[in-house]
Structure 1
Amino acid sequence: MTDYGHDLVFGTFHTPTNRDPQAPVRLARLAESAGLDLVTFQDHPYQPAFLDTWTLLSWVAAQTERVTVAGNVLNLPLRPPSVLARAVASLDLLSGGRAALGLGAGGFWDPIVGMGGTRLTPGESVDALDEALDVIRGLWDTSERRGLRVDGKHHRVEGAKRGPAPAHDVPIWLGALKPRMLRLIGRKADGWLPSLAYLKDGDLQRGHAIIDEAAAAAGRHPAEVRRLLNVQGALAPSRQGFLQGPVEQWVEELSTLALADGIGTFVLATDDPDTVQVFGQEIAPAVREAVARERATTGTAPAATRRGERAITLRRPGIDYAAVPAALATTAVEPGDRAYDTVRHNYLRSGAPGLVLRPGSAAEVAEAVTWARSQDVPLGVRSGGHGISGRSTNDGGIVVDLGRLDGIDVVDEAARRVRIGAGATWGRVAETLAPRGWAISSGDYGGVGVGGLTTAGGVGFLGRTYGLTIDHVVAAEVVTADGRVVRAAADENPDLFWGLRGAGGNLGVVTWVEIEAMELGNEQGSVVFSQMTLDATDVAGVLERWGGVVESAPRELTSFLILSPGRRGRLADGSDDQGPVAQLMTVWAGDDTDAAVEQLERLATAGPLLGHQAYLLPYSGVVQAGDKHHAGGGDPAVRSGLVEHLDAATAQAFAKLALSGEAYFLQVRATGGAGNDVEAGATAYAHRHQNFLLSAMSSSQERLDAAWDSVMEPHVDGLYLSFDTDTRPERLTDAFPEPTLARLREVKRDWDPDNVFRANFPVPPAGPQG
């Protein structure tokens, strides 16, 4: 008896006929509507009666919403692995994580050679497939910066650039029967995909034994290899043979294959619509129920809890891995998993969480929060993972990753109201809104996640026109500390709604927000984007003059200044090293180029001009989509401060900090404008009179704190919590000045009295009422 405990998956295997090109597409859509999980197609590129399988898979993915698509199996000799890797990753990204890779070594060599392929012996074809797996996995692994090199006999790559990374951990299933291929599956693949029609009595168990032995030798648990099976059959009123009979017979025989023969995925080879419908609506649910009932009796552990020895060794204390809720276990990532390096870090912060949960709905987020509360480890919440503060990851704790909650939908065209999932990135939001001529001010980088920015503030490139991002949030869905899913708006849970806008990370997990977009006044959503470089030898003077121009400019202009302090000493040729340089990134919110040029010319008077480029382009071209994959970035210390004006004293202080050598990156962002039209008490972000946000980055928190406290503290008035890694208790009133802090502590008491959400600039709950 063999049962690997895999959650059961049901799919279909169709002929990609081109006689009626839409016929296989209709079958795929029918499979999805019938509740099936997977749609696959044969791949015989030399067969002129067939559609090209890869083209068909792409078309089907675009015509469906939920099912996973795969070749069954793709012909490796006619599909170079480096190109195939990028094709699969691209389809996975475009479909939202719905691609799987079924791969075969090739078998029909005459037509393969006829199509230009190279004839291989059986042994050579296995070697070629082995090398291909290294190429494919290597190109998907974007955590490694160096180019990929695979020095194979059949497949070679020499410094190929890696990427793109797929949207999810794409499984690779191999179609195989012979022992050498089975051993390869045990060592490197994610699934075994044979066809029942080609198997003899005992072949399944013999195959399992070979795979399991090879997996154990490679440090893997046998359950890490999913066992799939292509099956054929026919529905009939009475029993006429294996899978030839009524629904009850199918349920009995498929259940036996799952419980006694280790099959976790059943793929039905059929082009009959009625059979597809019955298989999805009647047979699959009944088999799931029967198998679940038997497993409950025998106590079979889910495959998701049975990882390789390396993964088990790397598990962290304080987490009950065996008790991860079933709905979360299938997508969870832990140390030792192949996907771990893609989810452990954030943009600038290295992380080593003990478990990353990746819920796909608000209900699953609630389940994740409830379960995480029962574990004795820190809890982090990540939307895009870009946060400079680094609070969305941790060491040894649990991270709830909201990346799958990335929908973007216009819910009210007239009001320009957009509902955005917390896991979406601002680059994608900008792309979605651009055709309408709309935009939402959202920082300066498209890879930033929606959830973090819309709960902290949002000092963006359109800020002086639009205000802070939070100023246009009109509703949010929130998972609370006690696992409820609630809506927050001005007319529903108004105290929570107030607190979410500025201190949201302290109050719950936001799963979506509704935001009112701004209209840019032109059909293309175009803005003027300027990149200007100034000689900043006179650091204080440049800062003061630039600040004066920004404050006096029309609100359409928002400008950010990055200060590069320069290096001391001389270059090897004896010439002076480069001195301080100021880089200005400026946006004029609209397509009035004459007005924009007039203000940009004023900015250029802040210091000697070294270079300037300006463009008229959609806002989506300014905030371009960024990669969600992060690899850490030096774990910097960061301090921030808000000021009303860049007057002489403030500019001189910031110049002194810049020239001290204690900070390697300094930035000033223009805020104010429309953001200061909002009353200080309207949101938990209370800084409504300042016009500039200053920040500095260093390799040492201790040294930066000392330099900042002595040089900048007398001049700043408040801080921006997303740009600050100094969380000493005395900094709390800098983030939330009174009376905001007192009210926020009361909201915290009402919604998170046990301080579950304490990783994001922790706010202590107020004491009990009365």
Structure 2
Amino acid sequence: MTLKLSPAPTALQDKIVVPGDRRYRLLRSTYTTVASPAAVLLPENTEQVVAALRFAREQGLPLSVRSGGHGLSGRSTNDGGVVIDLSTMNHVEVIDRAARIVRVEAGARWAQVAQALAPYGLAISSGDHGNVGVGGLATGGGIGWLVRHYGLTIDHIRAAEVVLADGTVVRAGADHEPELLWAVRGAGAGVGIVVAFEIEAIELRDVGYAQIAVQVDRGGRALRQWADYMASAPRELSTAVTLLPHGRALVASITAVVADASEQRVRAAIEPLLSIGSGLLDHHARLAPYPALVSTAHLHANVGQQPSTTTNGLLTSMTDDDAAAITAAATGPHQPLIQMRSMGGAVNDMPADATAYAHRHHGTLVIASTFPPRRGVELDAAWRPLAERVDGAYTGFESRPDKSAFERIYPDATGDRVGRLWNRYDPEGIFRGSWQLS
């Protein structure tokens, strides 16, 4: 059934995509979720975002806001509602080279950001895939390939331009609307539509990159070796581990990135990873320009190609029992995909109350995903032994944004503050979607 929408304002002419439009097929869904919104709006500037928001609210339909559409919850689309898609707002500008301040519009993809900054010798740590949108990641946290060296993406946001629920446009910074900026940095999805960020980049051109595969024991000793090394490793090194059952064996695929162009220092940082586990299966390393890690080759339309259910939690340090529980989950009957990200380093330099991401004393993020035909019930069964061991969670790897998830992502005083600010800036809860605070 096609819903009848009210006439579009002049500012949105040719910027409303409805079923039957040739563009609709490529705009209706996200990376994980196929959906059927009544309309997708494509504003090209802040004024048009205001008009789009007003038009969306007039329809009285569910509202979703999308930057890249990689969010695991699928919240950036809906069935029968309106989607404000920011993908045409993708400009990247170095506004102060000496201070390394970059203005990035929320609809840009991180591959475009890396490509635009490369001629200046600058980079922003920003997730691990070039197709991820700026807005979603930069309002949720930002665990990227440089995370232990740079910190989270939100740690370097200096200002943000936000369209509030009533259509007011606010520039939030340290000296004006600092509470709004605090919420944007980790809980921004609930305060408004962030249309642009001012982010402090770092000086970076080439990095060391290694792909390592090692055989690991089912008792978890190899995971302890990895976690123990990362606890003392140079903070230029960040790693991600994927556990892959292989026959009766378990393989750890380790991606290592060193924020340094010195071959000697890259080699020294990576070397201890080669002795993890019971056997080195594969290893290759090279120097590469940072944009190669979040390549423009990643750019693609999102058409629901990877349905999944995902949850996560953090470990301060990894005990033998923690490691054994992780390997048991990875090899168990429900077969979740288990991934781990090294944290610590620059992430933990920030005070816990400096942003809406409060988890500043952890060393490891553990992520579990199931894929069809397995569903949330199988994920919960596999995750149950780990749920008792982890502390907190990260919004970017949680596909079910309910009250329980909110309390893990925004614990205690952080959650109270997030709730107050969401209610202050969006009293009707139009941006809150499926988040339930009570």
TM-score by length of 2: 0.95
Q: Does 1:615 align with 2:286?
A: yes
- Distance across 2 between alignment mates of 1:329 and 1:716: 49
Report the counterpart of residue 738 of structure 1 in structure 2: 412
- Distance across 2 between alignment mates of 1:389 and 1:602: 36
Q: CA deviation at 1:371?
A: 2.0
Question: Aligned runs of 1:298-337 on 2, under 5 Å?
Answer: 314-316=1-3, 320-337=4-21
- Distance across 2 between alignment mates of 1:355 and 1:663: 38
Which structure has the highest helix share of the two?
A: 1
Deviations 1:494-545 (A, max 9, x none): 111000111000111110000000113xxxx000011111113436122111
- Distance across 2 between alignment mates of 1:760 and 1:488: 25
Match of 1:661 among 330, 333, 338: 333
Paired residues of 1:348 and 1:634 also in contact (CA < 8 A): yes
Report the counterpart of residue 245 of structure 1 in structure 2: none
Q: Does 1:688 align with 2:356?
A: no
Match of 1:704 among 342, 366, 379: 379
- Distance across 2 between alignment mates of 1:661 and 1:634: 21
- Distance across 2 between alignment mates of 1:341 and 1:622: 29
Match of 1:432 among 92, 113, 116: 116
Question: Aligned runs of 1:21-60 on 2, under 5 Å?
Answer: none
Q: Does 1:586 align with 2:256?
A: yes
Please list every run of at least 4 consecutive aligned residues from structure 1 whose deviation after the TM superposition is greater than 3 angstroms: 760-764
- Distance across 2 between alignment mates of 1:732 and 1:469: 20
Q: Does 1:649 align with 2:321?
A: yes
Quote the sequence identity (%): 42
Unaligned segments of structure 2, at least 5 residues: none
Q: CA deviation at 1:375?
A: 2.4
CA pair 760-642 structure 1, distance change in 2 beyond 3 A: farther
Report the counterpart of residue 721 of structure 1 in structure 2: 395
Deviations 1:328-381 (A, max 9, x none): 241211122211111111122222212111111111111111221232322111
- Distance across 1 between alignment mates of 2:208 and 2:219: 26
Match of 1:535 among 207, 211, 215: 215
- Distance across 1 between alignment mates of 2:189 and 2:434: 6
Paired residues of 1:381 and 1:401 also in contact (CA < 8 A): yes
Report the counterpart of residue 42 of structure 2 in structure 1: 358
Q: CA deviation at 1:652?
A: 1.2
Paired residues of 1:406 and 1:422 also in contact (CA < 8 A): yes
Residue type matched to 1:632 in 2? G
- Distance across 2 between alignment mates of 1:388 and 1:490: 31
- Distance across 1 between alignment mates of 2:222 and 2:22: 49
Match of 1:676 among 348, 357, 373: 348
Deviations 1:28-81 (A, max 9, x none): xxxxxxxxxxxxxxxxxxxxxxxxxxxxxxxxxxxxxxxxxxxxxxxxxxxxxx
- Distance across 2 between alignment mates of 1:349 and 1:359: 22
- Distance across 2 between alignment mates of 1:449 and 1:424: 6
Q: Does 1:639 align with 2:311?
A: yes
2:419 aligned counterpart, secondary structure: helix
Report the counterpart of residue 601 of structure 1 in structure 2: 271
Unaligned segments of structure 1, at least 5 residues: 1-313, 567-576, 765-770
- Distance across 2 between alignment mates of 1:515 and 1:486: 17
Deviations 1:91-143 (A, max 9, x none): xxxxxxxxxxxxxxxxxxxxxxxxxxxxxxxxxxxxxxxxxxxxxxxxxxxxx
Q: CA deviation at 1:442?
A: 0.6
Paired residues of 2:43 and 2:88 also in contact (CA < 8 A): yes
Greater relative CO, 1 or 2 (CA 8 Å, sep 6+): 2
Paired residues of 2:329 and 2:335 also in contact (CA < 8 A): yes
TM-score by length of 1: 0.55
- Distance across 1 between alignment mates of 2:338 and 2:142: 18
- Distance across 1 between alignment mates of 2:299 and 2:289: 20
Q: CA deviation at 1:763?
A: 4.5
1:580 aligned counterpart, secondary structure: strand
Q: CA deviation at 1:634?
A: 4.2
1:756 aligned counterpart, secondary structure: coil
Q: Does 1:755 align with 2:425?
A: no
Q: Does 1:565 align with 2:252?
A: no
2:387 aligned counterpart, secondary structure: coil
- Distance across 2 between alignment mates of 1:514 and 1:685: 18
Match of 2:105 among 401, 421, 433: 421
Q: CA deviation at 1:740?
A: 0.8
Residue type matched to 1:736 in 2? Y
CA pair 450-763 structure 1, distance change in 2 beyond 3 A: farther
Match of 1:394 among 66, 75, 78: 78
Q: CA deviation at 1:685?
A: 1.0
In terms of mean alpha carbon deviation, does 438-447 or 365-374 score higher?
Answer: 365-374
Paired residues of 1:404 and 1:423 also in contact (CA < 8 A): yes
Paired residues of 1:656 and 1:711 also in contact (CA < 8 A): no
CA pair 539-428 structure 1, distance change in 2 beyond 3 A: farther
* Aligned alpha-carbon RMSD (Å): 1.5
Paired residues of 1:657 and 1:707 also in contact (CA < 8 A): yes
- Distance across 1 between alignment mates of 2:167 and 2:109: 25
Report the counterpart of residue 28 of structure 2 in structure 1: 344
Report the counterpart of residue 235 of structure 2 in structure 1: 555
Question: Aligned runs of 1:439-454 on 2, under 5 Å?
Answer: 439-454=123-138
Residue type matched to 1:631 in 2? V
Paired residues of 2:243 and 2:339 also in contact (CA < 8 A): yes
Residue type matched to 1:593 in 2? E
- Distance across 2 between alignment mates of 1:430 and 1:644: 31
- Distance across 2 between alignment mates of 1:530 and 1:578: 26
Deviations 1:529-583 (A, max 9, x none): 11111113436122111111111101000000011134xxxxxxxxxx3632211
Larger Rg: 1
- Distance across 1 between alignment mates of 2:327 and 2:35: 33
- Distance across 1 between alignment mates of 2:128 and 2:325: 25
Q: CA deviation at 1:466?
A: 0.5
- Distance across 2 between alignment mates of 1:404 and 1:539: 49
- Distance across 2 between alignment mates of 1:602 and 1:675: 22
Deviations 1:666-692 (A, max 9, x none): 210112210111011111111111111
Q: CA deviation at 1:609?
A: 0.9
CA pair 634-472 structure 1, distance change in 2 beyond 3 A: closer
Residue type matched to 1:636 in 2? S
Residue type matched to 1:565 in 2? P
Residue type matched to 1:354 in 2? A
- Distance across 1 between alignment mates of 2:428 and 2:158: 27
CA pair 353-663 structure 1, distance change in 2 beyond 3 A: farther
